[in-house]
Amino acid sequence: MPITALARPTARYPADRLPVYNVGEIEEVIEVNRMEFISSLRTTSASKMVLLVLDGLGGLPHPETGLTELETARTPHLDALARDSACGMIHAVGPGITPGSGPAHMALFGYDPLRYEVGRGVLSALGVGMDLGPHDLAARVNFCTVEDGVITDRRAGRISTEENARLCEKLAAIELEGAEAIIRPEKEHRAALVLRGEGLSESVSDTDPQKTGVPPLPCRPLAEEDEAARRTAALVNEYLEKAARLLANEHPANMLLTRGFARKPDIPPMTELYGIRAAAVATYPMYRAVARLVGMELVDTGPSFAEQVEALAGAWGHYDYFFVHYKYTDSRGEDGDFEAKVACIEEVDTSIPRILELDPDVLVVTGDHSTPSLLKAHSWHPSPLLFHSRWERRDDVDSFGERACAHGILGVFAAVDLLPMMLACAQRLSKFGA
């Protein structure tokens, strides 16, 4: 439906000459203008910014103690940091919306996740180093366990990455008419699948029902009249049928689930928008992929969080903005293991003094989303956040936890607004207007 321009008549645009947009164009103009506006204010500084993301950090109270995983954990360093910071809560997408990790991280990096939607398959493929051409279609894969036709474990017992690689090599024998299928191991039970060919469509459904006790779903076109989507769905189903035959004698990984079919989008790099040198210190392929997608360089690191922090220190002189990602709070939440998630949070806490030794001008600690152990899944609950900078106000929060941060001076805000706040406190945005 056409809508007249979002402005009053002026000398340049009298009432009969106001531009006309449709709703989608208005949304695009608003989003592009927001990013261009912030970009126009950028200025130079020698400041350093660190965004530490504990994946799936937020939780729900344990029924016996009334405390979340974060509130249960012994975190003397994070608690002390919270007392010297501004605190609050962030929504990745919006109240009541359960975000995937992709849109949640895009929001943390300053991109409206509703405008810059990145399919999970793209992140998986880029994360394992696959190059995506303009016609390639990528999907995320879970090895799973199917018994008597129904899924009994969506993650096949979190098989080892080495076992995953062996199975991917076995599946490399699959041939399709009209497309090439390439599968690569990601980590544990996850892999990336790329279909390479002409005329493929991303408008197809997932085959992962996201729960156990039901059969895998068939891939379907999102619109029956879409011939390219019908052909693509048929190719996906053919691939999965052939994979099931090849994996029939394997256990526990005897089937594949696919989701997030997508092509690589065109995204303006944050490094160019805001004039920063950005680096990612992440071990998990998907998060390395989303960092690459927005222009970050990848820092080599060992698997432990202590090694990640040392990699951060080693790269300190080369970059302005550091994204440090810790995965296992999310993994243990998805496993439903409350105590293991507590232990993960405590592991991160022990390395906070080392990060502070680097003396960042801005240090933010938060989650991309909540993954309560009680739910065994991502949830819609906002994530706690602490914002440490000499240029930010302080509040009366005395510990780092959901209920404490809910009373923080920053309140509850959208994750997409975090990056401008970081840039401002890093003295990297100039004044707007006279």
Write down the domain spans for the chain. 2-40, 49-114+268-425, 122-262
At 265, the pLDDT band (50, 70, 90 cuts) reads confident
Question: Mean pLDDT across the stretch 329-357?
Answer: 97
Question: Mean pLDDT across the stretch 347-363?
Answer: 98
10 pLDDT above the threshold of 60:
no
Do the beta carbons of residue 328 and residue 342 sit within 8 Å? no
Q: What is the pLDDT of residue 148?
A: 95
At 34, the pLDDT band (50, 70, 90 cuts) reads confident
138 pLDDT above the threshold of 50:
yes
5 pLDDT above the threshold of 90:
no
Give me the long-range contacts of 15-24 (CB less than 8 A, separation at least 24).
none
Q: What is the pLDDT of residue 20?
A: 45
C-alpha–C-alpha distance, residues 211 and 319, integer Å? 42
Q: Give me the phi and psi of 411, to 5 degrees please.
A: 65, -155
Which pTM does this prediction carry? 0.79
At 22, the pLDDT band (50, 70, 90 cuts) reads low
Q: What is the pLDDT of residue 159?
A: 96
> Is the CATH code 3.40.720.10 the one for domain 49-114+268-425?
yes
Distance of CA 267 to the CA centre of its chain: 15
Strands (E), 131-265: 137-147, 150-153, 180-187, 190-196, 255-262
Give me the long-range contacts of 238-247 (CB less than 8 A, separation at least 24).
238/176, 239/174, 239/176, 239/181, 239/193, 239/195, 240/207, 240/216, 242/174, 243/171, 243/174, 244/146, 246/170, 246/171, 246/173, 246/174, 247/167, 247/170, 247/171
Q: Give me the phi and psi of 344, to 5 degrees please.
A: -65, -45
Do the beta carbons of residue 240 and residue 180 sit within 8 Å? no
Do the beta carbons of residue 400 and residue 77 sit within 8 Å? no
User: Residue 423 in 3-state DSSP?
Assistant: helix
32 pLDDT above the threshold of 60:
no
Q: What is the pLDDT of residue 251?
A: 94
At 187, the pLDDT band (50, 70, 90 cuts) reads confident
260 pLDDT above the threshold of 50:
yes
306 pLDDT above the threshold of 70:
yes
The answer to which of 76-85, 124-133, 182-191 has the lowest mean pLDDT is: 124-133
C-alpha–C-alpha distance, residues 94 and 137, integer Å? 29
Q: What is the pLDDT of residue 301?
A: 95
C-alpha–C-alpha distance, residues 290 and 294, integer Å? 7
C-alpha–C-alpha distance, residues 273 and 295, integer Å? 10
* Percent above pLDDT 70 for the chain: 93
Residue of higher predicted confidence among 378 and 26: 378
User: What is the overall mean pLDDT for the chain?
Assistant: 92
29 pLDDT above the threshold of 80:
no
Q: Which of 73, 75, 42, 85 is nearest to 360 (CA)?
A: 85
Do the beta carbons of residue 164 and residue 143 sit within 8 Å? yes
Q: Which of 40, 53, 11 is nearest to 286 (CA)?
A: 53
426 pLDDT above the threshold of 90:
yes
Residue of higher predicted confidence among 307 and 11: 307
C-alpha–C-alpha distance, residues 282 and 305, integer Å? 9
Q: What is the pLDDT of residues 65-112, one digit of tens each?
A: 999 999 999 999 999 999 999 999 999 999 999 999 989 999 999 999
Residue of higher predicted confidence among 431 and 129: 431
